A and B are shown apart, each in its own frame.
Chain A
Amino acid sequence: MQSDETVLSLEAVTKRFGGLVVLDGIDLVVGPGELVGLIGPNGAGKSTLFNVMTAIYAPTRGKVRFKGKDITGAAPHHICRFGIARTFQLVRTFLTMTAFENVMVGAVYGSGGRVRHARDAAEAALELVGLSAKRNVTTAHMTLSDRRLLEIARAMASEPSLLLLDEPMAGLNPTEIRQMVEVIRRTRSEKGISILWVEHKVDAIMKVCSRVVVLDHGVKIADGTPVEIVANRKVIEAYLGEPAA
């Protein structure tokens, strides 16, 4: 159905929690080198979609394919080894480790054999996000912004082909946001990987992404270029609320 070129494809992914339908028949394709924005109001199902892609949840129905291979029932620790690395909305760094040790985890365990020289990969990943100078700082002593950058470095140290970012800008100040945009841009241009980026800062998404997907109440309501998205009636309704009948 999809071409060999596809990195990620979701086919009719549905996720229910009891009676609550959180994802409803989502189809989504990410191509190589693509930077795709994923937006939607609170509770739209964006994080749940990430959790289904990374096998934290099994979908109620539907399939997740990575480079053409069905990975729907895979063990969670295999996902990163396949080449899908992620960050978390509520940052999850290893707090008692140094920055370098955090990144080493990705390089050693996450790469599934892609990384030959773990230390080099770890150093390069810290360099990429600009944290080299803080390599020996214990993570518990780092700022939120640095921890978010560190999560990206840890993910990149596994040399993935797809990076999933879950609100990397949440809680950051304007300076830190500019820095984060720069890091995301650089990651994509230097590493040539695909990125799927969930974000509430819609203006940043519109500026940086070539394609934007919109979720609302578990349904994909739009998928197109930023110009198409801002003009989409359904999207405007989702963000501004239902128009008065």
Chain B
Amino acid sequence: MTAMANISWKWAAALLTVILALVPFWPGALDSYLFSFLFFVFIYAVMAQGWNLVAGFGGQISLGSHAFFGLGAYTTAILWSGNYLWGSLYETFPRIYYFDPVTMVLSGLVAALAAALIGLPLLSKLRGDYFALGTLGFGEILKVIFVNGGDFTGGAFGLVTPSSTFETLMPHYYVGLGLTVGTAVAIGWLMRSRYGLALIAVRDDEMAASANGINTLKVKVAAFAGSAFIAGIAGSLYSFYIFHVGPDSVFNLDWMLLPLMMTVVGGTGTVLGPILGAFIMYAVFDIARIFVPDYHPIISGLTIILAMLFLPKGLVRKILPMSLARN
């Protein structure tokens, strides 16, 4: 029975993906509020999925998503504005950096490398609070470094990239949708693999995992680096949207807090939870911001408190049977 339910949920998810992929063809869709709304939902869904990998599946509460988002955004902006990759090709093809997959992957890799470097010392301590506070501190330190980075980082103002390349939000939309689906499929597959088994073992009981042959530090650092890679790619995508990467915007704590809340509301340690949470919470945040701007934080905060009270294990676990929710 659960096998059939599993299949029908996969079909539902596939159908929703197809519908979302067809949205841009709706007359007037490209200029609608809904279109940019969905683009931001995708960015947040990807960020939430990344946080969920290390915190939801791995049990290591990172408070540093914004650091890796910012690193990814800056890597893209620096490579582009300084033309570090494509040399004279850039003159011939002025749009070569725009959604360049090499630039995007490098942005993810820079974030992943930074995560591995700070993860090694922070995750070798058994206490989770070292990790949580250490990652939070890392984001603040990075912000200061980038403010003082001179011409390389553009200082307190940041860097601008050629906004003349912008024509429509279409590529952003499809890359966002692709990343949302791609990260979900990749993490769903990962959690069924032997690595996923080790990650859950570490989350459930680190000492027992170690006594059963799992190199727990390696498993945790890999999850952290993987989550940073995802955040870095999301940052890169944002960079292509905003054309101005500044320390206050891309290292903003919201890039950590909102995905965290979305995941908790949707269901930590599930693949669909972060996506569902991103849809619902971004809608709540945005509606509150538009219609009652003065009370926006209160309404958003209340929603989270209500969600924690009535859905302590997340929305996904409420609507899906337990065995399914995990996948």
State yes or no: do A and B come from one complex: yes
Where the two chains meet, the residues of A that have a C-beta atom closer than 8 Å to any C-beta of B are 54, 56, 75-81, 85-86, 88, 92-97, 101, 104-106, 108-112, 138, 154-155, 158
Minimum CB distance partner of B208 in chain A = A92
Cβ–Cβ contact A154 & B212, under 8 A: yes
Q: Mark B206-217, 1 if CB is under 8 A from A, else 0.
A: 011111111110
Specify which of A76, A80, A94, A138 is in contact with B201 (CB 8 Å cutoff): A94
Q: What would 7 more interface pairs be, CB under 8 Å, given A80-B211, A94-B205, A105-B214?
A: A54-B211, A77-B216, A79-B211, A101-B197, A105-B212, A110-B212, A158-B213
Residues of A within 8 A of B203 (CB): 96
B200 CB-CB contact with A under 8 Å? yes
B248 CB-CB contact with A under 8 Å? no
Cβ–Cβ contact A105 & B197, under 8 A: yes
A110 to B210 alpha-carbon distance, docked (Å)? 9
B272 CB-CB contact with A under 8 Å? no
Cβ–Cβ contact B204 & A94, under 8 A: yes
Cβ–Cβ contact B215 & A94, under 8 A: no
CB pairs A–B below 8 angstroms (9 shown): A78-B213, A79-B211, A94-B205, A105-B197, A105-B213, A109-B212, A110-B212, A112-B213, A138-B322
A56 to B210 alpha-carbon distance, docked (Å)? 9
Residues of A within 8 A of B205 (CB): 92-95
Specify which of B194, B198, B212 is in contact with A80 (CB 8 Å cutoff): B212
Least distance between A93 CB and chain B CB atoms (Å):
7
Residues of B contacting A: mostly:
helix
A108 to B214 alpha-carbon distance, docked (Å)? 9
Cβ–Cβ contact A76 & B208, under 8 A: no
Least distance between B297 CB and chain A CB atoms (Å):
34
Cβ–Cβ contact A96 & B204, under 8 A: yes
Residues of A within 8 A of B213 (CB): 77-78, 80-81, 105-106, 109-112, 158
Specify which of A93, A96, A138 is in contact with B208 (CB 8 Å cutoff): A93
In this complex, how many residues of chain B approach chain A with their Cβ under 8 Å: the count is: 21
Least distance between B192 CB and chain A CB atoms (Å):
11
A54 to B210 alpha-carbon distance, docked (Å)? 10
Residues of A within 8 A of B216 (CB): 77
Report which residue of B214, B216, B269 has the largest number of chain A beta carbons within 10 angstroms of its beta carbon.
B214
Minimum CB distance partner of A154 in chain B = B212
Minimum CB distance partner of A139 in chain B = B204
Least distance between B270 CB and chain A CB atoms (Å):
11
A29 to B58 alpha-carbon distance, docked (Å)? 39
Cβ–Cβ contact B197 & A108, under 8 A: yes
A153 to B220 alpha-carbon distance, docked (Å)? 25
Cβ–Cβ contact A97 & B204, under 8 A: yes
A104 to B197 alpha-carbon distance, docked (Å)? 8
Cβ–Cβ contact A109 & B214, under 8 A: yes
Cβ–Cβ contact A106 & B212, under 8 A: yes
Residues of A within 8 A of B212 (CB): 80, 85, 105-106, 109-110, 154-155, 158
Cβ–Cβ contact B211 & A76, under 8 A: yes
Q: Mark B177-206, 1 if CB is under 8 A from A, else 0.
A: 000000000000000001001101101110
Least distance between A80 CB and chain B CB atoms (Å):
4
Minimum CB distance partner of A50 in chain B = B211
Minimum CB distance partner of A92 in chain B = B208
Q: Mark B50-66, 1 if CB is under 8 A from A, else 0.
A: 00000000000000000
Cβ–Cβ contact B201 & A105, under 8 A: yes
A77 to B208 alpha-carbon distance, docked (Å)? 10
A110 to B213 alpha-carbon distance, docked (Å)? 4
Minimum CB distance partner of A97 in chain B = B200
A154 to B198 alpha-carbon distance, docked (Å)? 14
Residues of A within 8 A of B210 (CB): 56, 76-77
Least distance between B20 CB and chain A CB atoms (Å):
31
Residues of A within 8 A of B197 (CB): 97, 101, 104-105, 108
A92 to B204 alpha-carbon distance, docked (Å)? 9
Contacts A88-B208, A93-B205, A94-B205: A75 and B215 contacting too (C-beta < 8 A)? yes
Least distance between A84 CB and chain B CB atoms (Å):
9
Minimum CB distance partner of B218 in chain A = A77
Cβ–Cβ contact B207 & A92, under 8 A: yes
Least distance between A242 CB and chain B CB atoms (Å):
36
Residues of A within 8 A of B326 (CB): 96
Residues of B within 8 A of A75 (CB): 215
Residues of A within 8 A of B201 (CB): 94, 97, 105, 109
Residues of B within 8 A of A109 (CB): 194, 198, 201, 212-214
Cβ–Cβ contact A77 & B204, under 8 A: no
Specify which of A77, A92, A95, A108 is in contact with B194 (CB 8 Å cutoff): A108
Minimum CB distance partner of B205 in chain A = A92
- The 5 A-B residue pairs whose C-beta atoms are closest, nearest first, are A110-B213, A92-B208, A109-B213, A94-B204, A80-B213
Report which residue of A76, A79, A86 has the largest number of chain B beta carbons within 10 angstroms of its beta carbon.
A76
A138 to B213 alpha-carbon distance, docked (Å)? 22
Q: Which of B305-327 contact A (CB under 8 A)?
A: 322, 326
Residues of A within 8 A of B209 (CB): 94, 105
Minimum CB distance partner of A79 in chain B = B211
Residues of A within 8 A of B269 (CB): 96
Cβ–Cβ contact A96 & B200, under 8 A: yes
